[in-house]
Structure 1
Amino acid sequence: MTTRLLLLALIGLIPVMLMPGWVSAVVVAAVIVIAAVVDFFSVPPPRLPGLQRTPGPMVRLGDSTHCILSLVNDSSRRLRMRVRDAWAPSAGAVDTRSRHDLAPGEQVQVRTVLRPTRRGALHADKVTIRSRSLLGLVERQKSFDVPAIVRVLPPFVSRRELPSKTQKLRELDGRSAVMIRGMGTEFDSLRDYVDGDDVRSIDWRASARSQDLVVKTWRPERDRRVVIVVDSSRLSARRCGDGTVFDAALEASLLLTALAAGAGDRVDVIVADARVRAIASSHRSKDPVHDLSVALTPVHPELYDADWEQIASAVVSTSRQHALVVLVTALDEGSVSEEILPVLPTLLARHRVVLASVDDPDLHELAGHREDAEEIFTAAAAEAELLRSRSLQTRLRGIGVQSVTDSPEDLPGTLADLYINLKATGRL
């Protein structure tokens, strides 16, 4: 029923008021019902065999995309209709309703702008069509299943730091050769000795030939191995800052992948909790960051504990040669002590291990408020949690595992700086 039918009913009250009685009321009601029935059967059925959705390209969270809905009038009658292109609320669809007047055989395309608020595969809802006649007293409605999927990649906000980090690597790669040789450096060139150079870098044979002291310079090796393990267990599902811990871990892994792949190293990313959820590699990939983003798009944290024995086995099978293994997980006392520490000897036997975790900014805020008794007790609990984290870092350092913690916004940059430092000192 439409507002026009309601307006016709209001108009029908006028003769009833002028000629009160059952006869006038029955006649007016009969006229309205007959008009509505006749109008209902004159409405063309909303059948559009040519209905089709064409989603736009995949987009990163925070950007906008679109979807094209094609409508074709394959009937022999004119179609006057209203169309609703429905999507899930997280798709952020804008202007989903439109009006159209299609002649037989005519086609129209409706563009719906999407501004997603959640990453992942966003599925389209039904397309609803309301058809009406020229009078417009009654409309006929039908919904159609027209499948379409828009893939929303992780945002990768930290890519703004990539140019500065890449510039630091370029300075290391032959332009500013390191003077201390480590297991991750290779010979670059010879130059004259200057005050302050390490005497261990003197090439005595070359010095004897030139009759001047000559030192060797070294540069970071390329084609090293980096394995990033992203924990997707229940510990990564908690809120931290504007997102979750898992969101911050994805940002850190994307920036490190872009940086290491650009430096010529091979990067493998493993996302796991109780099982391995996704594996991505930069090997033979033209765009490692894009491929990693696509692999991580459908992955969300699950409320399971991480199986670190299985994760360690996946790391060992991924890289049997020496590699930098980055475990992006929560610095939780129970998880680290009972699950991670027992498997670290297996990883440390072949690899250099780094543990990266997201530091909850709310803890520092709670620890700083001490105005009344309640806030003092809260601050004491927050300080105790921070102290446990520092104690765990000290314990990990004692067995040869370097750890970094920072806020969700700063963790990607901090982890990238650690990689650059390991590269510069030849410890990669």
Structure 2
Amino acid sequence: MVTRRFALLLALGLPAPVLLPSPWPALAAVAGFALALALLDVAVAGALTGLRLDRAGEHTVWLGGTATVRLTVANTGGRTVRVRLRDSWVPSAGAGPLFHRLTLPAGDVQTLVTTLTPTRHGDRPAVRVTVRSMGPLGLAYRQRPQGWNDRCTPPWTLRVLPRFPSRRILPEKLARLRVVDGSAVTRGRGHGTEFDTLREYVIGDDVRSIDWRASARAHDVVVRTWRPERDRRVFCVVDTGRTSAVRIGDAPRLDGCIDAALLLSVLATRAGDRVDLLALDTAVRARVEGAGHRAKLGRLINAMASLQPALAETDFTLLGHEMLRRDRKRALLVIFTALDTAPMIAGLLPILPRLAARHKVVVAGVRDPVVTRLAELPADARAGDVHQAAAAHRVLAERDRVRDVLAHCGATVVDADAGDFAGRVADVYLLLKASGRL
């Protein structure tokens, strides 16, 4: 195959014969000379069969970060090969540079570095490495069929973990968890807490915590201290239906739910609780059970990385089947979904009373801050602003009604903007943990 340099050579050589009285023989001579040079260039070009490709580098990266993957090209043939190479990835992998030029003498090995800046979480595979062997004049090249390039391409997949912006508030939540669960014990008994130690009474202690028998033996007032129970079950249910595809700011609602679920999972794991994940829409998309130890937390993060919104209505009866078929031990069930009227009435509300009777249910929904801003009518409002504000007020009123109905059915509702959503969910967990209501 010929290159642009061959076309440029023809463009420079053909105009001159046109000025001759009989241009056709001269044009044929110029074209024949250029074609002969191109054939000679292809003949001298090194063979591609001696090239060997291999990859190495990073397999995982957090969304928003960068990863590097190295492509090693080895020439096992006996001739020098001038290579023009294209390393293709899926567009959302953010790969660059895609094109490389290198000269490989016989037995030489060179390494090409590709920097990946993904724009979406999930698996981002390498597609194909296309290799061309250029002639020394640059007029023509050798290239094998696409199937040969596919077979020679070393497979590689970069797992892009979901964005975790609430990581910045993780130290604060862990500090509160230590107060609840370690450094400072809860005062008072509280339903569902476990006995910890005995200590001397200090002003401010609940008198109901006084252990009179121990006080009589010690000849002093002694109180019992209690700590929250460990080894509780926490179920993170992520709705991946059509409402999760709605963009909140510059990201889908699903990303905000994943961020909050990650923060809750890390907190629960540090607190000694067992974390399960269930992601569903019309089918169960991900299920992780028993991720209660820090070593197993990676399974949960990897499962969340593969979640994508589905353009279908979520079937919450799947959630009912999954939760009601399990053992009857009480657990914390956190449902990350949208507080929209239609999905709630048709999907979650029919099964919510049965779930709330067996488990502690928290329904968490990300609120769009744009709707809140539109509801605030400016002083210099125009007619269009009034209509937008009225529509925003209607949306907020419907959310308030949905929140009241969910609370009446026994659920705790978290309704917050995207920036505060993960922190609010974590606060609810810490409050339940401190009061022993898990």
TM-score bucket of the superposed structures, by smaller chain: over 0.9
1:102 corresponding residue in structure 2:
104
In structure 2, do the counterparts of structure 1 residues 11 and 198 end up closer, same or farther at CA, with 3 Å as the change threshold?
closer
In structure 2, do the counterparts of structure 1 residues 30 and 334 end up closer, same or farther at CA, with 3 Å as the change threshold?
closer
1:84 corresponding residue in structure 2:
86
CA RMSD of the aligned region, Å? 2.2
Mapped to 2, the partners of 1:337 and 1:152 lie a distance apart of 35
Structure 1: which 5+ runs fail to align?
none
2:426 corresponding residue in structure 1:
416
Residues matched between the structures, number: 428
Contact 2:275–2:289 (Cα < 8 Å) also in 1: yes
| 2:364 match: secondary structure | strand
Alignment of 1:63-212 (within 5 A): 63-142=65-144, 143=146, 144-145=149-150, 146=153, 147-212=155-220
1:311 corresponding residue in structure 2:
319
Contact 2:86–2:131 (Cα < 8 Å) also in 1: yes
**Partner amino acid, structure 1, of 2:172:** S
TM-score under structure 2 length normalisation: 0.91
| 2:177 match: secondary structure | helix
| 1:310 match: secondary structure | helix
Mapped to 2, the partners of 1:390 and 1:288 lie a distance apart of 38
In the alignment, which of 329, 343, 348 is matched to residue 335 of structure 1? 343
1:354 corresponding residue in structure 2:
362
Alignment of 1:211-230 (within 5 A): 211-230=219-238
2:401 corresponding residue in structure 1:
391
**Partner amino acid, structure 2, of 1:16:** P
Q: Which moved more, 1:289-298 or 1:57-66?
A: 289-298
In the alignment, which of 274, 279, 283 is matched to residue 275 of structure 1? 283
| 1:100 match: secondary structure | strand
Per-residue CA deviations over 1:108-155 (Å, capped at 9, x if unaligned) read: 221111111111111212212221222222122345112321111112
| 2:330 match: secondary structure | coil
2:5 corresponding residue in structure 1:
4
1:382 is the counterpart of 2:418 = no
Mapped to 1, the partners of 2:229 and 2:433 lie a distance apart of 8
Per-residue CA deviations over 1:176-197 (Å, capped at 9, x if unaligned) read: 2222322231112233334443
Shift of 1:48: 4.5
**Partner amino acid, structure 1, of 2:64:** G
1:323 corresponding residue in structure 2:
331
Mapped to 1, the partners of 2:310 and 2:26 lie a distance apart of 68
1:258 corresponding residue in structure 2:
266
- Runs of 4+ with deviation above 6 angstroms: none
Contact 2:93–2:119 (Cα < 8 Å) also in 1: yes
Q: State, as a whole percentage, how many aligned pairs show the same letter.
A: 42
| 2:52 match: secondary structure | coil
2:308 corresponding residue in structure 1:
300
Shift of 1:8: 3.3
Q: Which moved more, 1:28-37 or 1:323-332?
A: 28-37
Mapped to 1, the partners of 2:190 and 2:344 lie a distance apart of 30
Contact 2:285–2:307 (Cα < 8 Å) also in 1: yes
Structure 2: which 5+ runs fail to align?
none
Shift of 1:424: 1.2
Shift of 1:264: 0.6
**Partner amino acid, structure 1, of 2:29:** V
Shift of 1:87: 1.1
Contact 2:263–2:422 (Cα < 8 Å) also in 1: yes
2:60 corresponding residue in structure 1:
58
Q: Which moved more, 1:233-242 or 1:33-42?
A: 33-42
Shift of 1:53: 3.2
Mapped to 2, the partners of 1:423 and 1:250 lie a distance apart of 21
In structure 2, do the counterparts of structure 1 residues 25 and 336 end up closer, same or farther at CA, with 3 Å as the change threshold?
closer
Shift of 1:282: 4.4
Contact 1:55–1:149 (Cα < 8 Å) also in 2: no
Mapped to 1, the partners of 2:409 and 2:9 lie a distance apart of 85
